[in-house]
Every structure is written in structure tokens, then in C-alpha cells.
A and B are shown apart, each in its own frame.
Chain A
């Protein structure tokens, strides 16, 4: 299917929205989608230009390792994930962890969860260790500095402080 905006490139992005009480749905190519602010998180068109070129020459007949590997639970290949921008199931995060990590890092700037845990009992136990308490005190200090920076609208300093806090929090 061709993109409904430029009517030239292949449509890869489906957009659904409501305008003036009317529901509408259309298909866009990645370029038009990007221009309109709808991005695929896995869209690697820039760094992957060479791969894209190869793909257009060889078509779909160029299987790479991860394209051949299927998730045993949902049957997704890594290609399915990048094409749709959707991960198939929880197991996919195990099977394709190495392939997914660069995107995750690019999106969040972090790779380690901190926050609510399913088993709160474990979390509370580890939190009491001494080094972590030290780290926590430092985080609190940085946070008050961040507040001060924000209140003086010093956004550059605030961004730096925020990153430092994030790093510390990731160590917890």
C-alpha cells in the first residue's frame, strides 16, 4: 500500500486519530509520518542506510540471524518487531534483548529499572544496605540542588543534575 500523503513511498505507519468528532485512520510512509510527528521507536533509517539499501536490492530474501530467530512464545522475529514498532510478548525481551537494548538506551538514556517492584519485600531488604543509604542521601542533596536550579530557570544546570541523579538512582 502506498502512503496516503505523498502517494509515492510504501506506507509503513498506521495513524488513528479523532478530528472534529470524526474518527479517521490512514497509512503513511516513514518520511511523512516523521514530518507529522508520528515516529516508530525502532526506526533506524538513518544509521541503517546501508542495510536499507541492501534490502531494497535483495528484497526480503536476505535473512540475518535475528530475522531467522523466532520467539518461542509468540512467534515474532526481530524483523516483525522493528517493522511494527511493537514487541510481541514478555519472552521477546529475553530472546531479543541484545538487539532491543540499543533502542531502549536511546529512548530512556537508561537501561536499569528503578521504582516499584513486584515483590516489595525483596526491595525493602536490599534498600537497607549501608552504601545504598549513602547513595540515597547524596541523591536527596542533588535533588534539592535541582529544585534550586529549576527555580532560577537554570535549565542547563538542571539537566546536568538530573542526569547525575538518574545515574545514582540506577545504582540503587
Chain B
């Protein structure tokens, strides 16, 4: 379901096999054994997985996966003994031997944290029958980093808070949210910057709170934030300056010969608001959201099939945007 504010919902579960040390203490042979075990267990899931060995793919392919949120930057460094299992539609991706033996991730469009969790939960239950995950009665699922102990679950939503960023109330809100146990992260996860009003909101605490409560809390906050954003948008749209900004953004995107990633993201963010507020009606949200993925540097170079200089990238990006929006 398309949502004017929530771009996507994501749930990831951290799991480890009881009989192997965590990835920081594994030798190469153990890594390969763990990959094989997980591969064979995944055959019993309803989903069909493709397997990618991370050392076999080039840096460009790996970074493209980071840009599409399939893997973490950490996972893209080409170290041996790591693999990715991913479904064809990229809804489910499982990093094998990242920080934990398994990072089961499910991404769904719009506000659908519960649906994403249901899928992750089903895969987890199925895999546990064969793999026997490390679990402790009081500490819950055992993970390499204690920040994930307990449920091992990180649920997050990617939100487009354009109007709230515009009137600067987003800073006040995010500092309030951290008091409530939510983390506000950059576009590509931990330690990354917020780009063009895209905020990633997630639960912080995993021990002592059930999956259900954590998801409900996140869902409630998300609904609240969406309402604030919507009302901020409609009051912003009263101003002719803001409408002008949106129309001009579209104009630049349609005519520019060179455009940087940062500028394109900023302008697309304005256009996205224009679509949801009915100012722009010949472009769909899907088109804009797909563009925000495909204009990223590695994705762009991968589509072109070669490395490009920054100027060549800006040119290819301008062309791609023009052709898509026309």
C-alpha cells in the first residue's frame, strides 16, 4: 500500500546458531559450515531464495545492495565467508555471518510493520526447527552485540517528514522520541546522515519488551507523526512561496543537464509533497520512490555497466530523471 509519508516498514531479527561461536570468533571453515546449514534450512521455507556469496560479487554490486537497503555497509566490504539470501522481489533478505549468523530482514512498502513482522516471525520459527538458535530464558535470543539481546528485533519505518523539517519542529520531536526509547537514524541506518527529509525511526530497546508491544509503540508514534506532518503540509501549501518551490523543483528536474545526488534528492522530496498535496498530478509516488533508489551513485553506475566520474554521474542522473519524469 502506498503511503504519502511512510515510505517503507522494515523488521529485522538477529539470530545465532547455538552450536557455533558468534561471527567475530568464527574461523573460515565454521563460516562456510554455517552458510551451508542455513542454505539447507531455507529450502523448507515458503519463500524461494537466491544465494549470493559476498566475495564473489564486485564492489559496485555490493554497494548497490546497500543503496537498496538489502545489506548493511559493514556487509559490503567483500570479506570471505559471508552470504546473502534474498527473495526475487527483495522483500526478504537474510545476511549470513554479518554481526550475527542470521539477520532476517523483511521490507514492506508503506506502514506495514505488523505484516513485515509476521513474515519474519514465520521464517524464524521455521528455521529454528533445524538450526536451533541460541536462546536464554532470561536474556532471550543471544546476540553478538548486547544491544540486540531479548527479541533481537529492530522494527523501523522510513518516513518522509518534509513539512516538519521545513519548520524545524523535527528536531524537537526527534529528541522527544529518543526519551521514549526510539532511535532516529539516517537514511542508510546507524551512523548515517539524514538525506532529504527521509527519517528512519526504530525501536531502541529489545530486552524486556515484547515484539508486539514494540511494534504497537512504533506504529502509534508513526501514526501520530504522520498526522502532524499532514497538517504541517496543508498549512505550508497555503503559501504561494512553497507552491512555487515545488513547481520550480519539478522544472529543474525536467531540464537540468547535470545534477548532484544531494540536489536531486532535495528536489524529489519537494516533488513528492507536490504529488501528495495534489499540485502535481502527472507523476506517481511509485515513480518518485523508485527514482530515489535508482539515482544513487552505485545504482546509477551499475545500470550504466561501468565506473563513472562524479561529473559523468551527474550527467547520467540528470538524463535518467528527465526520461523518467517526462
Measured CB to CB, the residues of A under 8 A from B are: 15-18, 20-23, 25, 36-38, 41, 73-76, 84-90, 93, 100, 103-104, 107-118, 143, 147, 150-151, 153, 155, 158-159, 162, 165-166, 169-170
Contact = CB atoms under 8 A, between A and B. Distances in A.
A113 B213 contact: no
Nearest to A36: B191
Given A113-B138, A116-B121, 4 more contacts: A86-B22, A100-B146, A108-B207, A116-B210
B171 to A, nearest CB: 14
A155 B220 CA distance: 13
Contact of B146 (A107, A155, A166): A107
B151 A115 contact: yes
Contacts of B147: 41, 107
Contact of A88 (B21, B73, B136, B216): B21
5 contacts: A18-B298, A23-B77, A88-B24, A90-B134, A111-B208
Contacts of A109: 205, 208
B46 interface: no
B137 interface: yes
Contact of B76 (A23, A87, A117, A159): A23
A75 B151 contact: no
A22 B301 CA distance: 11
A169 B210 contact: yes
B208 A90 contact: no
B208 A23 contact: no
Residue from the set B144, B151, B297 with the largest chain A CB neighbour count within 10 Å: B144
B149 A104 contact: yes
Contacts of A143: 213, 216
Interface string B221-264: 10010000000000000000000000000000000000001000
